[in-house]
Amino acid sequence: MKKVFECLAWILIAAGIGLAVFKAGKKPDIVRMEWSRTIMDGSRTGVKPVTVENIEAALGTFDGGTYVAPNGRRFESGTTPQVARLMMDAQPRLKDLKEVIGYCTEDMKAKGPESGLSNMMVDAMRAEGERIFKKPMDLALSNFGGIRTSFPQGPLILDDVLSMFPFKNYLVFAQVRGSELRKLFTQFAESGFQCLSGVRIVAKDHKLVSVEIGGKPLDDKKLYNMTTIDFLLGGGDHIAIGAMAENLVLSDVLIKDYMIRYIKAQTAAGKNIEYAKDGRIIIEE
């Protein structure tokens, strides 16, 4: 950890120098940067996701001062051995996070307008809403932006869930009139759909074609029970459920908490963690 803090210190020092130059009235040189994306797939070293049982096989070992990667490649200098040492030294303190709580039969990634991962998360949210608010829930709504990573194929560890949901997003009960939901779904059709449960929507050319909730056409006059998150109450991701709801109840339950319970319950029942798209959001050509 000391090396991490030293790195952060150098970053802050460099930022401070840049600020001092700017304040001194010196015009900074314009730096043009071209960004690229690299998938961290372990192809250079063979490093794999770490659990309590596989630390050496996943991260490699040290032979004196030489880092021996899981794929057998040896690194004597550069940043690779330094990062490897930091990762290995941190493992004892990360032991609890490496608990295996489930098993994924395939990689699960969140992608709009719907995906197996997002469907699982928001369906579990609707069920959790019924449990904590003691009411039947017609639908549930969350945002794709709140799903920060994917679930890897193979053992699923506690850290996978905590990394996926790092924000403190609390579950909320909201009663919303059908006419307000229609406006919201129209917005989604125009700009992009979010994670939805309990609905079946068809859109074409950025316009709504049909909306069903609970297998029935959306009724503009009906009050619908919804489970959502507090981030979406006041404008998060351009969604303001708080302004359209006629009744709101906040809870102290976080997304990560109910997802951990859901995954552990599936595992205890002898089930793998897997889910699929079901056509709840259809975008017609």
Mark whether 88 and 207 lie in a shared domain: no
Q: Name the DSSP letter for residue 27.
A: P
Q: How many domains does the chain have?
A: 2
| 104 touches 117 (CB < 8 A) | no
**Which of 35, 70, 98 marks a domain boundary?**
98
Which residues contact residue 200 at a Cβ distance below 8 angstroms, ignoring those fewer than 6 apart? 210, 211, 212, 215, 279, 280, 282
- Tokens representing 12 are 């802050």
Taken in order 18, 23, 26, 30, the sign of the CA dihedral is positive
Q: Name the DSSP letter for residue 47.
A: -
Q: Report the percent of the chain where pLDDT is more than 70.
A: 86
Rounded to 5°, the CA angle 160-71-62 comes to: 85
Longest dimension (CA), the chain: 73
What value does the mean pLDDT of the chain take? 87
Distances (CA, A) of 247 to 174, 229, 271: 6, 14, 37
How many beta carbons lie within 10 A of that of residue 90, not counting itself? Answer: 12
Q: How far apart are CA 42 and CA 45, in angstroms?
A: 6
| 201 touches 218 (CB < 8 A) | no
Residue 266: pLDDT over 80: yes
Residue 68: pLDDT over 60: yes
Mark whether 62 and 168 lie in a shared domain: no
Mark whether 231 and 215 lie in a shared domain: yes
pTM reported for the whole predicted model: 0.74
170-213 per-position pLDDT tens digit: 999 999 999 999 999 999 999 999 999 999 999 999 999 999 99
| 114 touches 280 (CB < 8 A) | yes
Mark whether 138 and 7 lie in a shared domain: no
- Among candidate residues 127, 192, 118, 187, the one with its CA nearest the CA of residue 150: 118
Mark whether 69 and 120 lie in a shared domain: no
Specify the pLDDT at position 13.
35
Q: How far apart are CA 280 and CA 40, in angstroms?
A: 32
Q: Which helix (H) or strand (E) holds 126?
A: helix 116-133
Which whole number is the average pLDDT over 235-240?
92
How many beta carbons lie within 10 A of that of residue 107, not counting itself? Answer: 12
Q: Name the DSSP letter for residue 149.
A: S
Q: How far apart are CA 106 and CA 234, in angstroms?
A: 36
Mark whether 120 and 259 lie in a shared domain: yes
- Concatenating the DSSP letter of every residue in 214-261 gives TTEE--TTSEEEEEEEGGGTTTGGG--HHHHEEEEEEEEEEHHHHHHH
- Full domain range(s) for residue 122: 103-284
Residue 17: pLDDT over 90: no
Mark whether 129 and 249 lie in a shared domain: yes
How many beta carbons lie within 10 A of that of residue 101, not counting itself? Answer: 19
Specify the pLDDT at position 28.
47
Mark whether 277 and 215 lie in a shared domain: yes
Mark whether 66 and 117 lie in a shared domain: no
Which residues contact residue 71 at a Cβ distance below 8 angstroms, ignoring those fewer than 6 apart? 45, 46
Mark whether 69 and 209 lie in a shared domain: no
Q: Name the DSSP letter for residue 138.
A: S
- Among candidate residues 262, 115, 139, 281, the one with its CA nearest the CA of residue 197: 139
| 69 touches 56 (CB < 8 A) | no
Confidence band of 271 (pLDDT split at 50, 70, 90): very high
Mark whether 55 and 184 lie in a shared domain: no
